[in-house]
């Protein structure tokens, strides 16, 4: 069946919640993706930072195949060995003491927002429930997480929002401090904003936010759904500045492709989630946690983080060279292999032209080309992608 045949069938019954590109994906391997017509694409989107190990990483595939033959699902009323091992691994390599498992980043952020409110209500009273988040942030698509998100476009048509959120400019510690009042219970930030335009905060910002939280008895939550699991060159993005939160949320790349989410917390905070306070039917099931174990071990043990740092530096240097050549490129920014190239023109047409030429990237915030290749990407693959990009930029 051709791509057009599949697209025509999908148009009949699939909800129109995505402005999909005319690509029908049927196979992936490493940094390559193939469509139903056999065309090969160089994938510098990586499932929007999900396929950090590339498509169909052999260790993740093998783990899924073996576990699928043993046990797909059982209730969280029972103990699950792979869930226990994954929680141990995440806590060993982070600030955390306990982990709650779910299925997505939005669910992880919902869990975090419930936990900060419960912690604050029981310690300080019910009037402390507000969470400060950042403008241009993105925390998910549920009613709760779009309420937390500092972008109006995701809220259109869904009013009223969940009350209890205040928004401040990202990277502005003084504005954050000024926003704290008697109702504030927590601060929720992405250490690097992804959907908001690949925005990196100034040096020292996270440390100042941590000081404000300590002084005001607020919890600090990092949303690392997109930038965690090696994307920035460290296992977790907060580790670049060594400023630990009280809670961290993960999803996207945690299992190398299959869906899973997690909320990691310190013991003094996690203890406020007692039996019956929260749950998830599928969260932490044997299949997904086994895949996540394989993915996380590959990240930690197979030199993936080192490659991410090296290739991230290389790609950034090469993009900076283009900034010198093309006057409509305003800035290149990011960390590791989440890089944004801000333009003075719309980036949507460039994305479409790149797709036609066999390169998958995307545009966020209207004018920021976002590069999210697998962390296993090679220098030759980067050069190939840049050759495609150059041809498009030259025409502009």
CA angle 314, 315, 319 (to 5 degrees): 120
How crowded is residue 214: how many other Cβ atoms within 10 Å of its Cβ? 10
Alpha carbons 142 and 147: distance in angstroms, whole number: 8
Strand order of the sheet with strand 338-343?
A: 329-335, 338-343, 368-371, 362-364
Closest CA to 371 of 18, 31, 27: 31
Strand bridging mode 368-371 / 130-134: unpaired
Q: Which residues pair with 41 in a beta bridge?
A: 33
| DSSP letters for 3-15 | HHHHHHHHHHHS-
Collapsed DSSP state (helix, strand, coil) of residue 172? coil
Alpha carbons 202 and 279: distance in angstroms, whole number: 37
Strand order of the sheet with strand 40-43?
A: 25-29, 32-35, 40-43, 359-360
Alpha carbons 280 and 273: distance in angstroms, whole number: 13
Strand bridging mode 368-371 / 362-364: antiparallel
Radius of gyration of the chain (CA): 21
144 CB-near residues (< 8 Å, 6+ apart): 109, 110, 113, 162
Structure tokens at 183: 């109702």
Q: Which residues pair with 28 in a beta bridge?
A: 33
Active site residues: 138, 223, 252
């Amino acid at each position: 069946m051709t791509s057009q045949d599949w697209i025509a069938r999908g148009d009949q019954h699939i909800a129109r919640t995505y402005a999909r590109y005319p690509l029908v994906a049927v196979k992936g391997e490493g940094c390559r993706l193939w469509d139903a017509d056999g065309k090969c694409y160089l994938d510098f989107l990586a499932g929007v930072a999900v396929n950090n190990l590339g498509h169909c990483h052999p260790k993740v595939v093998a783990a899924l195949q073996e576990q699928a033959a043993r046990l797909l699902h059982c209730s969280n009323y029972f103990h699950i060995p792979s869930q226990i091992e994954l929680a141990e691994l995440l806590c060993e390599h982070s600030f955390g003491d306990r982990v709650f498992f779910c299925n997505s980043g939005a669910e992880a952020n919902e869990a975090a927002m419930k936990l900060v409110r419960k912690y604050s209500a029981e310690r300080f009273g019910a009037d402390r429930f507000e969470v400060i988040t950042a403008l241009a942030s993105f925390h998910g698509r549920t009613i709760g997480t779009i309420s937390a998100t500092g972008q109006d476009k995701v809220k259109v048509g869904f009013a009223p929002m969940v009350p209890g959120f205040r928004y401040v400019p990202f990277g502005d510690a003084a504005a954050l401090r000024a926003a704290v009042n008697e109702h504030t219970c927590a601060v929720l930030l992405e250490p690097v904003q992804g959907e908001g335009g690949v925005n990196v905060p100034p040096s020292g910002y996270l440390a100042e936010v941590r000081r404000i939280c300590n002084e005001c008895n607020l919890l600090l939550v990092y949303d690392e759904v997109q930038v965690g699991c090696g994307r920035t060159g460290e296992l977790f993005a907060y580790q670049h500045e060594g400023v630990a939160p009280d809670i961290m949320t993960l999803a996207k790349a945690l299992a190398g492709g299959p869906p899973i989410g997690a909320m990691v917390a310190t013991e003094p905070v996690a203890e406020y989630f007692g039996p019956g306070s929260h749950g998830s039917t599928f969260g932490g099931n044997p299949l997904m946690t086994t895949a996540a174990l394989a993915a996380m071990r590959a990240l930690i043990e197979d030199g993936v983080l080192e490659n991410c740092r090296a290739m991230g530096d290389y790609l950034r240097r090469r993009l900076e060279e283009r900034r010198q050549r093309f006057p409509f490129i305003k800035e290149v920014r990011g960390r590791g292999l989440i890089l944004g190239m801000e333009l003075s023109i719309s980036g949507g047409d460039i994305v479409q032209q790149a797709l036609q030429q066999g390169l998958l990237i995307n545009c966020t915030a209207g004018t920021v080309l976002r590069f999210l290749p697998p962390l296993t990407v090679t220098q030759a693959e980067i050069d190939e992608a840049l050759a495609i990009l150059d041809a498009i930029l030259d025409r502009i």
